């Protein structure tokens, strides 16, 4: 497997470290033979002079430690299952009925939040007005109720008069 990775990188012309003078790109046979190694920092190199990483494994040793075909097949199968699960989840998320349900839920949540805020504001206002018009024991405060009642009667009378004038 390590040899295939090295060959793929070499064929693509990708991640090689700086090439020392006198070194050329290896052939595919050299890659398969393990001539190509890893340079410092784990970068793939095309120089046989730098075939072992500092504290790393030489490519020829990596070939010996390569996983078997059964292990590779098991990894591929696990990855295929993971991808299938991911695709199923994406399909559910982008299904039109799911999108509609999510939009409905967001709208309902916004309405509930707005209605809740309105209820709290009205409740606070009613409690405040009630606290001004009623004593702690529940008796009405006449010094505040009577003027308020007169204002309400006066505004109602003006509205009735203006409506009658418009009709004539």
Confidence of residue 29 (pLDDT cuts 50, 70, 90): low
Q: How far apart are alpha carbons 16 and 45 in whole angstroms? A: 5
pLDDT score, position 117: 95
Mean pLDDT of 117-127: 94
- Alpha-carbon torsion, ordered 11, 13, 16, 19, to 10 deg: 100
Question: Residue 16 pLDDT > 70, yes or no?
Answer: no
Res. 125 pLDDT band, cuts 50 70 90: very high
Mean pLDDT of 109-118: 94
Residue 10: band (very low, low, confident or very high) from pLDDT cuts 50, 70, 90: very low
pLDDT digits (tens, 9 = 90+) for 69-90: 999 999 999 999 999 999 999 9
**Percentage of the chain exceeding pLDDT 90:** 46
Mean pLDDT of the chain: 75
Q: Two tokens at 79?
A: 């990855």
| Contact between 10 and 44 (Cβ < 8 Å) | yes
Calpha distance 91→168 (Å, rounded): 67
Distance in angstroms (rounded) separating the CA atoms of residues 4 and 63:
10
pLDDT for 32 beyond 70: no
Q: Are 17 and 43 in contact (CB under 8 A)?
A: yes
pLDDT in tens, 55-72: 455 555 555 567 789 999
Across the range 20-43, mean pLDDT stands at 52
Quick one: three-class SS letters along 8-73?
A: HHHHHCCCECCCCCCCCCCCHHHHHHCCCCECHHHCECCCHHHCCCCCCCCHHHHHHCCCCHHHHH
Note whether 80 and 53 are within 8 A (CB): no
pLDDT tier, 136 (very low <50, low <70, confident <90, very high otherwise)? confident
Question: And the tokens for 162?
Answer: 């203006």
Q: Is the pLDDT of residue 34 over 60?
A: no
């Amino acid at each position: 497997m390590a040899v295939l990775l090295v060959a793929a990188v070499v064929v693509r012309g990708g991640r090689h470290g700086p090439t020392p003078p006198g070194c050329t790109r290896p052939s595919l046979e050299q890659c398969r033979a393990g001539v190509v190694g890893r340079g410092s920092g784990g970068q793939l190199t095309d120089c046989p002079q730098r075939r072992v990483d500092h504290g790393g494994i030489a490519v020829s040793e990596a070939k010996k430690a390569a996983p078997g075909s059964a292990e590779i097949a098991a990894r591929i199968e696990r990855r295929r299952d993971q991808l299938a699960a991911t695709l199923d989840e994406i399909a559910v998320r982008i299904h039109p009925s799911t999108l509609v349900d999510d939009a409905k839920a967001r709208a309902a949540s916004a309405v509930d939040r707005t209605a809740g805020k309105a209820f709290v504001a009205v409740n606070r206002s009613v409690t405040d007005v009630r606290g001004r018009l009623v004593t702690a024991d529940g008796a009405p405060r006449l010094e505040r109720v009577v003027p308020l009642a007169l204002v309400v009667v006066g505004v109602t009378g003006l509205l009735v008069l203006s409506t009658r004038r418009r009709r004539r």
